[in-house]
Structure 1
Amino acid sequence: MTRFIFITGGVVSSLGKGLASAALGALLQARGFKVRLRKLDPYLNVDPGTMSPFQHGEVYVTEDGAETDLDLGHYERFTRVASRRSDNVTTGQIYSKILAKERRGDYLGATVQVIPHVTDAIKEFVRGDIADEDFIICEIGGTVGDIEGLPFFEAIRQLGNELGRDRSLFMHLTLVPYISTAGELKTKPTQHSVKELQSLGIQPDILVCRSEMPLGRDERRKLALFCNLREQAVIQALDVDTIYAVPRAYHEEGIDQEVCHHFGLETPAPDLQRWDEVCNAIRNPDGEVTIGVVGKYTSLIDAYKSLAEALAHGGLANRVRVGVRWLDAEIFEKPGYVAELENVHGILVPGGFGERGTEGMIAAAQFARDRKVPYFGICLGMQMAVIEAARHLADLPAAGSTEFGPTDQPVVGLMTEWLRGNEVERRSTEGDLGGTMRLGAYPAKLTPGSQVQEIYGAERISERHRHRYEVNINYKERLETTGLLFSGLSPDGVLPEIVELPGHPWYMGVQFHPELRSRPFEPHPLFTSFVRAALEQSRLM
């Protein structure tokens, strides 16, 4: 029997519903249950694929090629359950589906309304694509009271009634602010938030309170009294020094025990030793390295959330702390600013779209190649490394990407067709931007004896992609005469997946996004190897 946990938020946004959902999933897993996590986003965009990284942060890509919310990255990192397209839905997707049915006449002339048609579609999503999971944890994006979230709250209210208390639980995450001038925690914002939720017909079963200061007995009693809860169901959530301490912190507050109590489940206490070991490694490293990330969206670190975590995982594998210097690529387009990279132990150029900052990325790639500094180019970072080699090693001074305009030497160009399994996928320059990239997991063949083949320990891999432009295979032979090695190709040999520079301590570009597959218990081999190379570099400086 599958049980459903609905997690909502109140008072303010960005309280950490995604982490709370992921941590709860990890705790239930540790108790022996099979879990699946889902995100319901109230915004009207079909998906975050065309949204600015400065507004939305990272776009997380699933194995099956869905562009989703970054919280799905937390879900995967904490539970190691691969998310699917069916684990993230938006208002845009719901309305697109309903309007398509209306145009086909599927509603037989009925007036299409929010209730029941929109709410039914949301409920269909929540209950769809379920196998033998014990728990489905559904996070509702936004904050209670937001007008765009009302259909979602109504849908989960209905589901609560249909499923009954033995199969549904409502958890509400709020803020209990500390007023330093008064020296007091204020519970009133949480009381109002719960009142707003109750006005929608939802009574929370567990209240999770984010706060800078510990909740006292009086605050817990007051919240339980005014919010119609057992005192044990009021859970404090204090800040921790690392996100991987969240499962332990929530367990000590009794959140997983309260969930089991609600559903009448008796299970052994969870074994959290692995989480403790990860936290111990983070808190007690044997050394430190500094990685310079030269990117386009460095003013909002959430734009590189999975990347930052993958670097930390690489540090865990090497028992070192990874310090990241977030560097705006545009500064390296000015003379002399490349000196900003003098004191870093490794340079990473991540993905991105558009021409802004790309000349700075090329300058960073050249610095890494010339100075023998470990270099890791991901997606756009690989393309810029190839363009740099074409300009300065292959005598192709006009080398560029057609993404930035016409060029006589299109070393990087728009993909118009490619293979996905046995099927050919095609795109055109006039097509929509959303959902038209090469998305999701694709295989690649590695060159035997290459550095990347040794790192993976395999000759065939599968990694997740998100890009529209590709290194032009027609320049492969000319570039390889300069020493650059195309060490990974698509199975048909048409699409370059990996380039490396033999003789360099560590210089690699990959067209895919390996950060999406890195986990604290299973650091990605490329990040493990890159951080190890940076550690060796630090010993030479």
Structure 2
Amino acid sequence: MAKYIFVTGGVLSSLGKGITAASLGALLESRGYKVALRKFDPYLNYGPGTMSPLQHGEIFVTADGCEGDLDLGHYERFTKTNTDKHSDITSGKIYYTVIERERKGEYLGATVQVIPHITDEIKGCITAGAEDYDIVIVEIGGTVGDIESLPFLETIRQMKFDLKENDVLFLHVTLVPYIKSAGELKTKPTQHSVRQLHEIGISPDILVCRSEYPLSEGVRNKLALFCNVGKSSVINCMDAATIYQVPLVLNEEGLDSEVIKKLGLEEREYDLSKWQDIVKRIKQPKDTVSVAVVGKYLETKDAYLSLTEALLHGAVANYLKVDIKWIDAEKLEEKMASEYLSSVDCILIPAGFGERGMEGKINAVNFARTKDIPFLGISMGLQAAVIEYARNVLKLEDARSAEMTKPEHSQNLVIDYKHDEHYNEEMGASMRLGSYVTSLMEGSLVKEIYNTDTVTERHRHRLEINNKYRNALESAGMVISGNNEESGFADIIELSSHRWFIATQFCPEFQSKPFNPHPLYNAFIQAAYKYKQDKNNLSGD
């Protein structure tokens, strides 16, 4: 039987429940326990797939094609777990399933209510597949006091009594703010947050207290007394220089030992040396590479969270620091690309949707190609690369994507929906989503980087390279080095005449981990550093 850890949050959002849950999962894995992590969000959307990245942040794609919350990325990067459709549940999914069952008569005419029908459905999602794990960590989105969270909180309250006493643990992440004018940490926000939990019928077993400064002995005693927990269950999680330091911080505070004791698990030896090594590499790099990320969702960096982490992983593997220059693609439509891109060591165009900023991305591709600067294009970045090449090498001045313009405005849709022979409006709502196998071309740069014949990568896109232009592109020097053999779609392009120019239909960042950086990001950072060294040698530095 699996044991369950429920992670709740108080005071305010963005406290780091996801990082806390992922770090605890990493600590328990280091002791040999098999851990699953899941995110339950209270919003009524069916899932985050149709939500704006500016509001919700990145959409993380699982191998089975689930469009999930960005915290799923933290779970996969910190642990061995592979998230799936069971890992991301929303109120929308729960209510949708219950209403479907009601319409089919499965409740035999009973009045459908939050209790027991909604709460029972939530329980079913929590326990689905749990028999394969020792511990299931469930993060409840939002904060205590949100009206949308009440069905989830009621469900986990019930589970405390449905299961054996030491099979369920409540971990509450809360804020202990420092008031500068008073010169002290304040415990009242945490006390009020815990009191709200008590009113619901949940008594936290462990408090993880976020703070800018260390908790004094007096503050710990006060929190323990007023929040009805043992002093050893008051865990201080101070702000860290990197998120990969959090497992070490929580271990030093004794979180994993406290969890093991309260769940009645066997105390086992553990080794956190790999976490210590990666923190050392992040804090003590030998040099820096600068990366221009030309995007359109720059109001929040969470929109490109996995990409940012993948760049860090590639840098750490090479004992480097990555300096990301965020560049608004629309600005490259107004000014010369050289004003923004001349000083960087490499250029990356991330995934995205829609026409906004596309011309700026095409200008960035042109700068990277003509100036021989290392370039990596992801999904829309590949589309921009193909359009730029078609316009400036094939001389198809009206080359465009079907997403940019209606077909009557262009004779040359080099990027089109899946059925590219004829424009089909209805196909616009379908995507290649989840894992697909790509065959790599012998003698190509990607074959050398991956060192394998095929790769399985995660996709999230509607558009493909129009196969009608494939021969012309290849004849003009573009190498289509990765193909989906089943569908005939092109998945990877590169330019053999360029020092390092690769673009992919898939999003490789979804599979990058700190201890196992994705080969493409690793090679991209290596190429950027080599370019930087070559520049310095030419300038005499």
Give the TM-score normalised by the residue count of structure 2.
0.96
Aligned to 2:306: 306
Distance, in Å, in 2 between the alignment partners of 1:132 and 1:530 is 37
Distance, in Å, in 1 between the alignment partners of 2:171 and 2:319 is 36
C-alpha distance after superposition, 1:167-222 (max 9, x if no partner): 00000000001001110110001000000001000000000100111101111111
Higher mean displacement: 65-74 or 312-321: 312-321
Aligned to 1:408: 411
Q: Identity of paired residues, percent?
A: 51
C-alpha distance after superposition, 1:15-73 (max 9, x if no partner): 00000000000000001100000000000000100000000000000000000000000
Aligned to 1:422: none
Structure 1 segment 223-242 matched on structure 2, within 5 A: 223-242=223-242
C-alpha distance after superposition, 1:280-339 (max 9, x if no partner): 111111111000000011221000000000000000111111110011100000132432
Distance, in Å, in 1 between the alignment partners of 2:337 and 2:454 is 40
1:86 partner SS? coil
Structure 1 segment 383-394 matched on structure 2, within 5 A: 383-394=383-394
Which ranges in structure 2 are unaligned for 5 or more consecutive residues?
A: 536-541
- Displacement after TM superposition at 1:237 (Å): 0.7
CA RMSD of aligned residues (A): 1.4
The match for 1:488 among 467, 479, 482 is 482
Distance, in Å, in 2 between the alignment partners of 1:342 and 1:401 is 27
User: Aligned pair 1:162/2:162, yes or no?
Assistant: yes
Higher mean displacement: 487-496 or 443-452: 487-496
Distance, in Å, in 1 between the alignment partners of 2:141 and 2:205 is 19
C-alpha distance after superposition, 1:495-532 (max 9, x if no partner): 01000000211001100000000000100000000000
Aligned to 2:247: 247
Asked if the contact 2:337/2:367 (under 8 Å) is kept, the reply is no
Equivalent position amino acid for 2:534 in 1: L
Distance, in Å, in 2 between the alignment partners of 1:335 and 1:70 is 33
Asked if the contact 1:338/1:363 (under 8 Å) is kept, the reply is no
Asked if the contact 2:440/2:453 (under 8 Å) is kept, the reply is yes
- Displacement after TM superposition at 1:364 (Å): 0.3
User: Aligned pair 1:518/2:512, yes or no?
Assistant: yes
Distance, in Å, in 1 between the alignment partners of 2:51 and 2:256 is 35
Asked if the contact 1:80/1:519 (under 8 Å) is kept, the reply is no
Count of matched residue pairs: 531
- Displacement after TM superposition at 1:108 (Å): 1.1
1:404 partner SS? coil
Equivalent position amino acid for 2:460 in 1: R
Aligned to 2:118: 118
Aligned to 2:438: 444
Kindly tell me: are residues 224 and 453 of structure 1, through their superposed partners in 2, closer, same or farther at Cα, counting changes over 3 Å? Answer: same
Distance, in Å, in 1 between the alignment partners of 2:100 and 2:442 is 49
Distance, in Å, in 2 between the alignment partners of 1:76 and 1:2 is 20
User: Aligned pair 1:92/2:95, yes or no?
Assistant: no
Aligned to 1:73: 73
Asked if the contact 1:294/1:329 (under 8 Å) is kept, the reply is yes
Kindly tell me: are residues 341 and 279 of structure 1, through their superposed partners in 2, closer, same or farther at Cα, counting changes over 3 Å? Answer: same
Asked if the contact 1:332/1:338 (under 8 Å) is kept, the reply is no
Higher mean displacement: 322-331 or 401-410: 401-410
2:132 partner SS? coil
Distance, in Å, in 2 between the alignment partners of 1:293 and 1:349 is 6
Distance, in Å, in 1 between the alignment partners of 2:222 and 2:424 is 61
- Displacement after TM superposition at 1:493 (Å): 5.8
Asked if the contact 1:10/1:174 (under 8 Å) is kept, the reply is yes
C-alpha distance after superposition, 1:474-506 (max 9, x if no partner): 111101121110111111362010000002110
